[in-house]
Structure 1
Amino acid sequence: MSSTKTNTNIATSTDATTNTDTTEDSLPAGQHRLGDPVVLTLSIGFIVLFVGLSLYDINGVADAIGAGFAWTAKALGAYFQLLLLLTFLVAIGLTCTPMASARIGNTFTPELSTFKWVSIIMCTLLAGGGVFFAAGEPIYHFVTTPPSFDTEAGTVDAIAPALAQSFMHWGFLAWAVLGSLTSIVLAHAHYDKGQPLQPRTLLYPLFGERIMSGMFGGVVDALCVIAVVAGTVGPIGFLATQVSFGLHELLGVVNNYTTQLIILICLGAIYVTSAVTGIDKGIQLLSRLNVFLALGIAAVIFLFGPTLFLVNAFTQGFGEYLTNFFTMSTMTAQSAPDWWMQWWTVFFFAWFIGYGPLMAIFVARISRGRTIRQMILTVAVLAPIATTIWFTLLGGSGIFYQFTGVIDLSEALSNFQFDVATLTVAQALPGGTFMALAILVLTTIFVATTGDSMSYAIAVVGAGHDRPSSLIRAFWGITMALMAAILLYMGSGQISALQQFIVLTAIPVSLVLLPSLWTGPQAAIAMARNQGLVSRDLRPIAVPPASSAPSSQPGSAPSQEQ
């Protein structure tokens, strides 16, 4: 097979960068604008059932979820940890092979500029939770030594381990499970085989056509949607409480349910508008705005904060993270207190697993024209490093102020009051009240970018293609905001119960992700062969530059941004 012949499988496709609105009339045959009725019925059914049972017996629901949460964390925590660890190792190994040069979507021309693409990734995957925990988690591990270390809490020696533990929770493993191997499987299935952008597609290599139609596939998709709804409603609800508390402390605004409801309405309006206008408009504009604001805040903290302390803390903390990477990644309940594993490592990892399939859909959708290597390294390496820097700037500053006695968050963090931690650290930063308000705005936009991307992704799952109607995007965005409002009315405890429910949803969702450990490399091999990058025996084939490739590929549909 000659390289000249096989290169017809890659399109430079100038129309791949043209984004046009689509209507229901242009949807694929057999697709309805409201999406798969099984997915819609089961997903909405879960929301109605959860809210209804909470209204009937709020304590009973919380107790039942708590018991299931504790059992799952203890019995399956090690399995969740190994799934994330193996996903990262296999993905990184894949980048070292010729197959990683294959391009997603059969085009040499990326749909989004590099800055837009990276901005969307950074602001979507771990945005809401990462900002919410960035200040408080490092301080918590500073005042309460993590099980992987034996340093004395609150001392100089405890600084690096505290940051390292935070890096482990929000670093390479967390990002890799959200958009590496699974995104490769979905990209190959969708762009090369014409299969739908749905979680069920991840199981096609195992079950074949049986999974693609009928109740089974619908149930798989619905379980993944439910996991994302549970994972997204939590940050939306907690943001309302955090911003309400912050406005009360900074400006004297009354901190009550009415204020929280107004915040929810404003937040919902922002991310619903963003989701409806699409990736090329609202989503990427909101993400870019967020990146610029985050860079501005980071520059102020670095230049006018405890600069030398932050540099040393990051260097030592990241070194500690790499040195103890496998020790922390494989720490189980047998060598750590059950409660610690349950509320920290297992909780976070289960949260990321729950987001996995829909995040993979989103990453595959926005990465058209990128190579597999670019996608994996950006998602699983570059983004985690940026996250560790952000945690160092905000959480590291908090450690500095805690260590020097400027603030004391020991009691608040022992009660998991992370909203108090974020505001307290923000007020101690250069700029005081102004910086605190800026961080509240940043947190709000970060949560909005999660809300818009997940509204879009859920709509994609229901529709089965990447052009879901604006109506269904708005429907899911409004639904999640409404659910958060109802649960907040019952009390923040029900938001916490919903967050714990994430760990339960991670059980079935993990089984959807598991096959990608071997189907991901297989999909990469198939893409590389189709694009003439490797021979049948996987030997690299010399490939002419992109400029010499033909301008289009027969049968390759033009991109539709909406």
Structure 2
Amino acid sequence: MTQSTQDAVPRQSGARALGDPIVLLLSIGFIVAFIGLSFYDVDLVANSISTGFAWTARVFGTYFQLLLLATFFIATGLAFTPAANAKIGNLDAPEMSTFKWLSIILCTLLAGGGVFFAAGEPVYHFVVTPPAFDSEAGTPEAVANALAQSFNHWGFLAWAVLGSLSAIVLAHAHYVKGQPLQPRTLLYPVLGERLLRGPLGSVIDACCVIALVAGTVGPIGFLATQVSFGLHELFGLPEGYTGQLIILAALGSIYVLSSMSGIHKGIQLLSRFNVLLALTIGAVIFIFGPTLFLANSYMAGMGTYVSEFFTMATTTADTAPDWWMQWWTVFFFAWFIGYAPLMAIFVARISRGRTIRQMIVAVAVLAPIATSVWFTLLGGSGIYYQLTGAIELTEALNNFQFDVATLTVAQALPGGIWMAFAILLLTTIFVATTGDSMSYAIAVVGAGHDDPSPYVRAFWGIAMALMAAVLLNMGAGQISALQQFIVITAIPVSLILLPTLWNGPKAAYAMARDQGIIK
């Protein structure tokens, strides 16, 4: 960190050790209120969120889609300009190797897809034809369309909003101008100095923290149910709340310790191990599984994704069933929007010394391509086994039982029970890598700089694990309700991201001028 940043954003102590008290009050207040209301009337909370979820998807769905489209095309266009040669964070060389850097980027958000959707979503779109296509479900003609629809949900648009334009704005504001590394800084060019010091800025930060908590507690809680279910099916271990608590405690311990040790120790070590394990599993699937089918399906699926890119990206409730848009395209796009400000903080931090072009290409191009390969290996294998009759997942997927789908596909893969166990281990570490990086990011928001107290990181990691434990005691339905809530929080968060469409390029050119790259 530069001296100017240290002066502008002093370390906090005493009563403010956990960060901005308003952010803390609103964020913890949300957790307490959600849990308290759930204890009071579970159905009231679930039904209220479901109603708000449906309304948000219907009214704001098209806006979310346009925001992601604009972000992707402006960011990729910026990558071709001379300004993209500017380096991030006032460093001449990167702090970590390219492999470590890419590993952290991939693992931080792929947890959601890697854990819950990579195996089941392509199979779902294979047995239920997406609205953008007219192929007959369950036929060879439906394979490429199913993969392409999955690529659309986890592809270029989704990743670009996480760490391109918003990360550029934050990197310039913090490392060059000495402004706090907080979501409110994204609105500084619009609302001015009062925003950085006043209560409105705290409310903006709190909205982003709440969205992140809603999106992260879900994978943490669902992982406990998935691993508990998997260990019961594979090894006959007891399945129930006690086992889920043990899994949560182990998971929480891993990601809390990782977060406390910092980016250059636990976070990058865990991410690097996870990527190496994923590469090993992927190689085994590709070499010993339906190799030719997977290779052909990936090429056809990627071709369909590119050729039908705008058709899928602009499908709306007028051209598709409301329920489909709510639970697929809008849900995923809103989920990424909810994550975006704090992910941008994290991406800006780990990309110091990289050029703007490298950061955009890594996040908006390389990460989605790697994601599409992973979805093809797991989901494409699932489609192959479904097509050949080796497995039958239609009923489970129509009931959105993705834990059943993941385990069923895993057991059908080469290695059987041991491959299934390896995938359970991989998914556990995937979620841990999200838990540690997001605990770090929330602590950064409270501190306003990129070196928050390890104890604050631990506080947020433990808080999310405890929230997952309490909600699991009420049933997986409350975890699902919390995940739906992130779609509602995407409304204010999207407004925070909107100015980055023009401030991102402005910040890039400002950095390039400061570094003498352009005049």
TM-score tier after normalising by the smaller chain length: over 0.9
**Equivalent residue number for residue 104 of structure 1:** 88
**Equivalent residue number for residue 357 of structure 2:** 373
CA contact (8 A) 2:9 2:179 kept: no
**Equivalent residue number for residue 339 of structure 1:** 323
Q: Distance in 2 between matches of 1:359 and 1:30?
A: 23
Q: Distance in 1 between matches of 2:60 and 2:35?
A: 27
CA contact (8 A) 2:11 2:447 kept: no
Counterparts of 1:36-185 in structure 2, within 5 Å, are 36-185=20-169
Q: Distance in 2 between matches of 1:525 and 1:176?
A: 19
Counterparts of 1:183-202 in structure 2, within 5 Å, are 183-202=167-186
CA contact (8 A) 2:114 2:427 kept: no
CA contact (8 A) 2:9 2:180 kept: no
Deviation at 1:27, TM superposition (A): 8.0
Deviation at 1:410, TM superposition (A): 0.1
For residues 520-539 of structure 1, the C-alpha deviation after alignment (integer angstroms, 9 at most, x for no partner) is 0000010011111111xxxx
CA contact (8 A) 2:86 2:512 kept: yes
CA contact (8 A) 1:178 1:352 kept: yes
Deviation at 1:127, TM superposition (A): 2.3
For residues 322-374 of structure 1, the C-alpha deviation after alignment (integer angstroms, 9 at most, x for no partner) is 00001100100000000000000000001000000000000000000000000
Runs of 4+ in structure 1 deviating by more than 6 angstroms, as ranges, are: none
Aligned-pair identity in percent equals 75
**Is residue 248 of structure 1 aligned with residue 248 of structure 2?**
no
Deviation at 1:395, TM superposition (A): 0.2
For residues 198-232 of structure 1, the C-alpha deviation after alignment (integer angstroms, 9 at most, x for no partner) is 00000000011011012100000000000000000
Q: Distance in 2 between matches of 1:466 and 1:107?
A: 15
**Equivalent residue number for residue 320 of structure 1:** 304
Normalised by the size of structure 2, how large is the TM-score?
0.98
Q: Which has the higher helix share?
A: 2
In structure 1, stretches of 5+ residues that fail to align are 1-10, 16-23, 536-562
Counterparts of 1:190-229 in structure 2, within 5 Å, are 190-229=174-213
**Equivalent residue number for residue 261 of structure 1:** 245
Q: Distance in 2 between matches of 1:308 and 1:302?
A: 9
Deviation at 1:34, TM superposition (A): 1.4
Match of 1:364 among 348, 354, 357: 348
CA contact (8 A) 2:12 2:447 kept: no
Q: Distance in 1 between matches of 2:439 and 2:27?
A: 13
Match of 1:284 among 264, 268, 291: 268
Q: Distance in 1 between matches of 2:144 and 2:23?
A: 45
**Equivalent residue number for residue 355 of structure 1:** 339
Q: Distance in 2 between matches of 1:442 and 1:505?
A: 29
**Equivalent residue number for residue 412 of structure 2:** 428
SS of corresponding position for 1:100: helix
Counterparts of 1:441-460 in structure 2, within 5 Å, are 441-460=425-444
CA contact (8 A) 1:33 1:468 kept: no
For residues 63-93 of structure 1, the C-alpha deviation after alignment (integer angstroms, 9 at most, x for no partner) is 0000000000001000001101110000000
**Structure number with larger C-alpha Rg:** 1
For residues 253-274 of structure 1, the C-alpha deviation after alignment (integer angstroms, 9 at most, x for no partner) is 1110001110000000000000
Match of 1:311 among 280, 292, 295: 295
Deviation at 1:29, TM superposition (A): 5.3
**Is residue 28 of structure 1 aligned with residue 18 of structure 2?**
no
Q: Distance in 2 between matches of 1:209 and 1:266?
A: 43
**Equivalent residue number for residue 403 of structure 1:** 387
Q: Distance in 1 between matches of 2:371 and 2:211?
A: 23
SS of corresponding position for 1:212: helix
**Is residue 232 of structure 1 aligned with residue 194 of structure 2?**
no
For residues 94-132 of structure 1, the C-alpha deviation after alignment (integer angstroms, 9 at most, x for no partner) is 011000000001221101111110100010023233332
**Equivalent residue number for residue 467 of structure 1:** 451
Give the residue type in structure 1 aligned to 2:132.
S
CA contact (8 A) 1:110 1:367 kept: yes
**Is residue 501 of structure 1 aligned with residue 485 of structure 2?**
yes
Give the residue type in structure 2 aligned to 1:280.
H
Give the residue type in structure 1 aligned to 2:165.
L
CA contact (8 A) 1:351 1:502 kept: yes
Q: Distance in 1 between matches of 2:58 and 2:29?
A: 29
Match of 1:275 among 259, 264, 268: 259
In structure 2, stretches of 5+ residues that fail to align are none
**Is residue 481 of structure 1 aligned with residue 465 of structure 2?**
yes
For residues 464-512 of structure 1, the C-alpha deviation after alignment (integer angstroms, 9 at most, x for no partner) is 1111111110000000000000000000000010011011000000001
Q: Distance in 2 between matches of 1:170 and 1:371?
A: 24
For residues 406-431 of structure 1, the C-alpha deviation after alignment (integer angstroms, 9 at most, x for no partner) is 00000000000000000000000000
Give the residue type in structure 2 aligned to 1:48.
V
Q: Distance in 2 between matches of 1:415 and 1:128?
A: 19
CA contact (8 A) 1:125 1:178 kept: no
Q: Distance in 2 between matches of 1:449 and 1:264?
A: 14
For residues 416-473 of structure 1, the C-alpha deviation after alignment (integer angstroms, 9 at most, x for no partner) is 0000000000000000000000000000000000000000000000111111111110
For residues 23-69 of structure 1, the C-alpha deviation after alignment (integer angstroms, 9 at most, x for no partner) is x9x98256642111111010000000000000000000000000000
Match of 2:373 among 361, 371, 389: 389
Give the residue type in structure 1 aligned to 2:410.
A
